[in-house]
Amino acid sequence: MSLRNIAIIAHVDHGKTTLVDELLKQSGVYRENERVAERALDSGDIEKERGITILAKATSVTWGDTRINIVDTPGHADFGGEVERILNMVDGAVLLVDAAEGPMPQTKFVVGKALKVGLRPIVAVNKIDRPDARADEVVNEVFDLFAALDADEDQLDFPILYGSGRDGWMAPEPDRPDEASLAPLFDLVLDHVPAPAVADGPFRMIGTILEADPFLGRIITGRIHSGTVRPNQTVKVMDRDGKTLETGRVSKILAFRGLERQPIEEGAAGDIVAIAGLSKGTVADTFCDPQVDEPLAAQPIDPPTVTMSFIVNDSPLAGTEGDKVTSRVIRDRLMKEAEGNVALKIEDSDQKDAFHVSGRGELQLAVLIETMRREGFELAVSRPRVVMQKDEDGTLLEPIEEVVIDVDEEHSGAVVQKMSERKGEMAELKPSGGDRVRLVFHAPTRGLIGYQSELLTDTRGTAIMNRLFHGYAPYKGPIAGRTNGVLIANEPGEAVAYALFNLEDRGPMVIDPGAKVYQGMIIGIHSRDNDLEVNVLKGKKLTNVRAAGKDDAVKLTPPVRMTLERALSWIQDDELVEVTPKSIRLRKLHLDPHERKRFEKARASA
């Protein structure tokens, strides 16, 4: 049976996982009466809830006498480390582009990586049935993008299909054919994508995806570069520098057959397989025959741009809602995460019981925190900080992002003003159809922290923002941060509705009545720029005098709901987010008011 290896790449929410669903259905992977979940490859709870792909997944379908290994890749820039590795184990890519939105920042990112490793993508214009579809313009934009990314002549001569992944059809023309199916896409993959190139020599494979299985232990997925591998075969693991990490036996070889992984007796060169039995090999390591001396070249990963401190929770409520609270278990969990996610970097901090975790963006770190809290962890996390660099002359450099904002024309002025306040420089302004404009800025990463919620408020929820790491540039100078102070609880207990009602003039609350509070915990947003300590436990004084209407229940304004991402971007440097399996609380770094004053004096004099 002949073989093809392809990746499906696209910007977030352009329909990759939905298209894979239809490819699986139409290739006969499912029984006729089998109940199939929507977006079958989005396996994690967070992936299903958010509707985004976080981890790359492999599957395979059979079309005629050819087996096609398909890898579904993440669309969000924060998970770009996954995409870079995946493209090294495939021979072709299907680039999915939304028929209305056209190429977006993440499209540029994944196409650049695909062209760099020599792939010749197939362009599929998806969601052609949208009322605002503009297929011809989008194809021209894709061509311009390829040209801007220095594509060669073969890559510029890309084949084009039009269709709807959700409705399960693709065709050479934008009009829906009478016999609508994905057969044209399958046929084009067989004709356009070359069979995997096989090198001579003994068994060699680069680890691409790492996961843990409760029964088989560590499982590494990758494409076999040369040779064959069988169960019980002795295999050596080398890192990128050629240092031998371990030598062990392969306990099981698994191949992808539809949505299932099935044990096989032999993995041959060119195929994508998962092997189990080795305890130290990780992503980007070379798994090979013991006689091999040179590791395979692994693609370098873009450096992390954002870092946060993960701190052991030391609040008075620590340990009441989670069962994993010590620095040892938090450190072990972070190290385990870093093994499989090469875009993450974990470092021990100078202060006791704290770790610096660096990644591609706030979303990547927020997903890690959300995953940990669901596993029963309790911890406190700091505001995200950008990772600065210095050039040879000692000039301080900071990460710059390309920001694309699609917004109604009436709100464009507010967006331009806010972005300029955050040191963003406009690079492009063009209409994007339907009284909307597309604004492109180059802005420092630190200026964008916390801007998403502000943008939605300014544009009444109509703006769509996409970000992509652009490069490092000289430090742009100070950026004004949050303008409001906070309301801080001055003693422990349970918040009383009467007290919260009387504090509403001071600003909106972030807690409900009855919530447990402690000294130093943030309970509201002050209407002025200074912090204010308040008493939220003060009940109503009881007397024997009654008057009509005097004892009606107080009517509270609903509190501001702080999601994890919003809380992380909203807090200041002297504040923390306390994360537990049941709660997200905001607090001051120093809970004692005297310590806070000492800290503020020391910072002012520094």
* CATH 3.40.50.300 given to domain 2-192: yes
Q: Domain 486-605: which CATH class?
A: mainly beta
483 marked as binding residue: no
14 marked as binding residue: yes
Residue 47, pLDDT score: 46
Residue 57, pLDDT score: 63
Averages of pLDDT over runs of 10 residues in the chain (606 residues) are: 85 74 72 41 48 59 86 61 72 89 79 86 90 88 89 90 88 85 89 87 86 79 88 89 88 82 87 86 84 80 82 90 89 83 81 86 83 91 88 86 87 90 89 81 86 82 80 86 86 90 91 92 92 87 61 76 85 90 92 88 78
Q: What is the CATH number of domain 389-474?
A: 3.30.70.240
Neighbours of 407 (CB within 10 A): 22
d(CA 515, CA 503): 15
CATH fold of 204-288: Elongation Factor Tu (Ef-tu); domain 3 (2.40.30)
Q: What interhelical angle do 362-374 and 327-340 show, nearest 10?
A: 130
Q: By C-alpha distance, which of 205, 258, 197, 212 is closest to 233?
A: 205
Q: pTM to 2 decimals?
A: 0.75
Q: Where are the domains of the chain?
A: 2-192, 204-288, 389-474, 486-605
Q: What is the DSSP string of 272-326?
A: EEEEE--SS--TTPEEE-TT--SPPP-PPPPPP-EEEEEE---STTTTSS-SB-S
Contacts 24+ apart (CB under 8 A), 24-32: 24/59, 24/61, 24/258, 24/259, 25/168, 26/168, 26/181, 26/182, 26/183, 27/61, 27/62, 27/63, 27/68, 27/186, 28/62, 29/61, 29/258, 29/259, 30/258
222 marked as binding residue: no
13 marked as binding residue: yes
Q: What is the distance, to the nearest Å, from the Cα of residue 94 to the centroid of all Cα atoms in its chain?
A: 21
126 marked as binding residue: yes
Locus of tokens 């949505």: 259
Counting Cα atoms < 13 Å in the Cβ hemisphere of 33 gives 0
18 marked as binding residue: yes
d(CA 36, CA 239): 40
Residue 79, pLDDT score: 53
Give the bridge partners for 223, in sequence order: 272
108 marked as binding residue: no
544 marked as binding residue: no
